[in-house]
Amino acid sequence: IKELQLAMLENDVALEVAERICDDIRKEIRGKFVRKGKIEELIKHALRNAMLDAMKQDSMDIEGMVKKKDGPFTIIFLGFNGTGKSTTIAKFAHKFRKYNPILAAADTFRAASIEQIEIHGQRVGARVVKHGYGSDAAAVIFDAKKAALASGSKLVLADTAGRSHSNVNLMDELKKIVRVNSPDLKILVLDSITGNDIFDQCRLFNDAVGIDAIILTKADVYDKGGSALSAAHTLKKPILYLGVGQEYDDLKEFSPEEIVDSLLA
Ligand code: GDP
């Protein structure tokens, strides 16, 4: 089991998660009668089950939820800077284009972020609602919802400023965004390359506003799978998609089996 824990760490599973999974395996096999030579098989089987268990959360039918909602369905995308929030929003807008998504440029903090989301909006044919830099992010999303209601759009996709542990003001702003707009979903966007810090990122956002689902980006450049396991195990929420490139079609359904196979390979 020690070897397994090391192997998980080498695949960038967060330390806390690797430890907990090993504890689960110990519990599962303790007291079991095993034939000589079959121990390794038993442990591998227990590991596979523990990993699949962690990643098999109740699936989420986004399209069904959008259709069912009376009025515009609002999704807020959260995460650290550079994880791929705005690119993922554009991919989402492209995927769900038949619902005429409106993009809310609610990262009013980082220079060029509004222009960036506008360019994405033009490219995927989605309208963008924006205010100026330094303006109230909650109000931008509020206006985007109003615009969606007026135009019959069924979907509002909101960008937000990238935040980290030290941005107390930005975390307060995030709480306000959620309080004012009661979003239908809060999706945490995580970069697959993050490694051990993914555990802290999950906790930070979940403690602040509660996370409903996860998207992992850059799985095309980094496919060890450890971050998927860490994120799902920490939050116990579904991973909806993997970002697998910089094109708007590069959003892939998440498959726990695929990740487990790559982790056990
Ligand atoms: P934000 O700061 O969170 O909004 O991040 P951006 O959306 O600006 O993305 C940061 C960088 O990551 C950009 O260069 C994106 O093109 C790139 N990126 C985002 N998602 C993916 C992905 O799934 N794969 C790859 N290879 N690059 C991505």
pLDDT tens track for 181-214: 999 999 999 999 988 889 999 999 999 999 999 9
Residue 178 Cα to ligand 1 middle (Å):
24
Cα torsion angle, 63, 67, 69, 71, sign = positive
Residue 87: pLDDT band with limits 50, 70, 90:
very high
pLDDT of residue 265: 77
Question: Whole-angstrom Cα distance, residue 42 to residue 249?
Answer: 40
Question: Whole-angstrom Cα distance, residue 74 to residue 185?
Answer: 7
Q: Is 223 exposed, middle or buried (0-12, 13-18, 19+ CB in 10 A)?
A: middle
Which residue's CA is the nearest one to ligand 1's atom 12?
84
pLDDT in tens, 97-149: 999 999 999 999 988 999 999 999 999 999 999 999 999 999 999 999 999 99
What's the token pair of residue 184? 């239908």
Kindly give the number of the ligand 1 atom that is closest to the alpha carbon of 251.
23
Residue 243 Cα to ligand 1 middle (Å):
9
Average pLDDT, the chain: 93
Average pLDDT over residues 54-72: 92
pLDDT of residue 54: 86
pLDDT of residue 12: 86
Residue 103 Cα to ligand 1 middle (Å):
17
Residue 57: pLDDT band with limits 50, 70, 90:
confident
Question: Whole-angstrom Cα distance, residue 35 to residue 54?
Answer: 28
Q: Which residue has the tokens 């007291």?
A: 31
pLDDT of residue 174: 94
pLDDT in tens, 19-45: 999 998 998 888 888 888 888 888 888
Residue 47 Cα to ligand 1 middle (Å):
32
Kindly give the number of the ligand 1 atom that is closest to the alpha carbon of 79.
3
Average pLDDT over residues 169-174: 90
pLDDT of residue 261: 86
pLDDT of residue 58: 84
Average pLDDT over residues 47-73: 92
pTM, rounded to two decimals: 0.94
Pocket test for ligand 1, best of 78, 81, 86, 87 (most atoms within 8 A of CB): 87
Residue 39 Cα to ligand 1 middle (Å):
43
